[in-house]
């Protein structure tokens, strides 16, 4: 899961969006916090 978080900074919007979706499905507090930061 931790390997996905850097992908939220990828240049490709599709990669970022799909990473956020995957992290939401994982649902751990760390994953959800990373998505929250990405979306802000």
Q: Which of 5, 12, 11 is nearest to 32 (CA)?
A: 5
**Mean of pLDDT over the chain:** 96
Structural domains in the chain (count): 1
Domain interval for residue 29: 5-39
Q: What is the pLDDT of residues 1-15, one digit of tens each?
A: 889 999 999 999 999
First to last CA, the chain: 20
Over residues 13-37, mean pLDDT:
97
């Amino acid at each position: 899961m931790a390997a996905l978080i850097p992908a939220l900074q990828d240049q490709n919007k599709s990669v970022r969006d799909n990473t956020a979706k995957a992290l939401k499905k994982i649902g751990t507090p760390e994953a959800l916090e990373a998505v929250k930061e990405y979306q802000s």
